[in-house]
Structure 1
């Protein structure tokens, strides 16, 4: 593995020196290559789907794994959009002159070699490779074994574009040792790897965070909440609740818990149940909820569970402070939302909930690099240092200080 990582390190200078127009041309060529090879991608993806079903993967993971013409086109569009984004490298973030007369500039630069470890979703392969290329970084990708055929063909298509442009294919690499032992070795290689970004299940995040010698920006679990305040607009609350839970149940920005103010619960819960029944959502409610609607009993474990499935826990709470306390205790710091027409209550919730993304009168499903205008995302960080929320190209840069003098010597 060390010889392999040495090659990646050698590529750092090459990709960092690429002109913006060259990088953008490569991205557009890669987007077209995905379109041109859509049949091959779908054929390889079918192999993963067959293995997944044989291994009894749940419906949420199968949905994440699936690639069809529409999803491949979305992957290609993401690359085209990344090509249109402003150049993230070489931005002067700050500039000033100090009393001694020297001029200082804080300038964005690539991070270097970034390892991205992820599960299930093969579109992550093209998204993260493109974001790393645009930001002047080398990437080493380790996808889940359940998407092995899909990841290999996507990476090969992108590498072919690099080679056709006389660039080393190692700029975009898949980790050759796709085992747990391979990951264990990789995250100890701080001599060659500058950053590790894990995105996946709670167990994966915990393992990487606890064992890596390389700095980690983690994409933690998405235990997201929607709080319906007593001054919520009923129609909006129902529409947003259904969207936040049911549009795609197996993603990290779908809600897992619905909190309802006690003064509106009697009116809104029967209406919500009607709509959730249409979606075949399994509802698990607190004792007060069960007195209003027919549902399963929620256990204490439910409040702490990321279902990634068509299941929703419901709790009736006293007030906004109780909602904030519940989110503080059980939330993962990902995305949480309030539905209210009261401006003061909304601002109080926004300022009090300590999550990467906090919404008013909108679905948590908007926590996404594309929806935020980033073109795509390398992950949704729940860290507080370096990057937080959807990570786009600017979050894949660091900075250096450039200092200009005219014969200055310190007294």
Structure 2
């Protein structure tokens, strides 16, 4: 079993510097933080060629080491993908300020006024695998929400991450935000020791494999936000438009199969299964998707047999398990047993079936007649996301700025003391005021 080492003096110094920078960052204006993001985006654009070259080096090394295709897809950061990531930074800069929002304004008594105001979390620690674009997303969301960030990417993306972080810190150095607010860890020892930085780090966000997330959850006292699995389902109901269902299924699986919001299991109502598979199997074959099915779906053309383990497997690849179910209740039961509470969808023209599915499936995202690939912070209009949370408590689903703020109660009085209210000489009015 891997042990979690004590943090080194250097790591403690860097984490302490990030903490101090975060305190100052939390007191900056909306304009200052937005300008810092614009400077970060400009620096990324200025260093774009070097970042792409660094990524090419990572790709070549990882290919030689036999990195899995799904991780290779996540690792790739070409000029087009980098351009999109930079645009994401600009979009985060343009989002409304999440800080200083008054959520509660209540007069407890004359001259005694309570407010609840949004404030930053402090410092977030983010550990992610093979996703250099995640570094840009997380850094931009952290700075925009007034938080420091300590980031550790996978070793397979080491060259890219260092090139990206160099650009981001250069951008911050040209703004009113200290470059100490962002720190990049480069070794496994540092990433493990990060888990012991309670008191300096306020939240850990893991983005990676089930094993990574489980290990972090089991080895830190710092709160953890994230998801271990992305086992997403698409249920094709008896009242589905078959052509629409095929289109949604193909996109949900093949648009980016390495993503956690790609479907891994297709559930087909028995009355529509034959028509669906007749239309869908050639499309899946054209896209290189391997179908693994139960006995009923194999009888309708699915070539390979599925095992019990397939229903609980996140492939992150062009593999899709298929099951024929007798009714909506059977589909709901399958999702309850094998789902990961990430994103699940139904295709149907039956409003009652749609409403029941949307109400009964306890996932972070529950969709009707659309691809599960929409489970994404950028597509939700968040600008970017720090990750996707499948926990029941908020934040849930794609986590943007609102997931990186908490709140503080502020009470203003004029010599008020609790003893007066205990004695009955004063009484609470509890009158809500305009926000």
TM-score normalised by structure 1 residue count: 0.97
CA contact (8 A) 2:30 2:97 kept: yes
Give secondary structure in 1 for the equivalent of 2:227: coil
Deviation string, structure 1 residues 57-90 (Cα, Å, up to 9, x no partner)? 1221111111111111101100000011000011
| Aligned equivalents of 1:345, 1:360: Cα separation in 2 | 10
Give secondary structure in 2 for the equivalent of 1:98: strand
Match of 2:219 among 197, 202, 211: 211
**Coordinate RMSD, CA, aligned:** 1.2
CA contact (8 A) 1:231 1:341 kept: yes
| Aligned equivalents of 1:80, 1:240: Cα separation in 2 | 30
CA contact (8 A) 1:209 1:218 kept: no
Deviation string, structure 1 residues 201-229 (Cα, Å, up to 9, x no partner)? 00000000111111111232210000000
Aligned ranges 1:338-349 → 2 under 5 Å: 338-349=346-357
Query: Does residue 1:405 correspond to 2:413, yes or no?
Result: yes
Report the counterpart of residue 241 of structure 2 in structure 1: 233
Deviation string, structure 1 residues 136-183 (Cα, Å, up to 9, x no partner)? 00000000111000001101101011223364321111025x21x322
How far off is 1:121 after superposition?
0.8
How far off is 1:256 after superposition?
0.3
How far off is 1:98 after superposition?
2.8
Report the counterpart of residue 392 of structure 1 in structure 2: 400
Deviation string, structure 1 residues 8-59 (Cα, Å, up to 9, x no partner)? 2211211111111111111112112211211100110011001110110122
Query: Does residue 1:130 correspond to 2:144, yes or no?
Result: no
Deviating 4+ runs (over 6 angstroms): none
| Aligned equivalents of 2:33, 2:110: Cα separation in 1 | 39
Report the counterpart of residue 57 of structure 2 in structure 1: 47
CA contact (8 A) 2:268 2:325 kept: yes
Query: Does residue 1:272 correspond to 2:280, yes or no?
Result: yes
How far off is 1:99 after superposition?
5.3
CA contact (8 A) 2:152 2:184 kept: yes
Q: Which runs of 5+ in 1 are unaligned?
A: none
Report the counterpart of residue 11 of structure 1 in structure 2: 21
Query: Does residue 1:25 correspond to 2:35, yes or no?
Result: yes
Query: Does residue 1:84 correspond to 2:94, yes or no?
Result: yes
| Aligned equivalents of 1:129, 1:182: Cα separation in 2 | 19
Which segment is superposed worse, 275-284 or 159-168?
159-168
TM-score normalised by structure 2 residue count: 0.92
Deviation string, structure 1 residues 302-351 (Cα, Å, up to 9, x no partner)? 00100000000000001111111101111111000000111111111111
Which segment is superposed worse, 108-117 or 90-99?
90-99
Deviation string, structure 1 residues 103-122 (Cα, Å, up to 9, x no partner)? 21111000001000100010
How far off is 1:268 after superposition?
1.3
CA contact (8 A) 1:104 1:403 kept: yes
CA contact (8 A) 1:88 1:393 kept: yes
Give secondary structure in 2 for the equivalent of 1:292: coil
CA contact (8 A) 1:16 1:110 kept: yes
Report the counterpart of residue 378 of structure 1 in structure 2: 386
CA contact (8 A) 1:197 1:219 kept: no
CA contact (8 A) 2:377 2:385 kept: yes
Query: Is the radius of gyration larger for structure 1 or structure 2?
Result: 2
| Aligned equivalents of 1:5, 1:267: Cα separation in 2 | 58
Query: Does residue 1:263 correspond to 2:274, yes or no?
Result: no
In structure 2, the CA distance between the partners of 1:136 and 1:167, relative to structure 1 (3 Å rule), is closer
| Aligned equivalents of 2:133, 2:183: Cα separation in 1 | 15
Report the counterpart of residue 183 of structure 1 in structure 2: 191
Query: Does residue 1:109 correspond to 2:123, yes or no?
Result: no
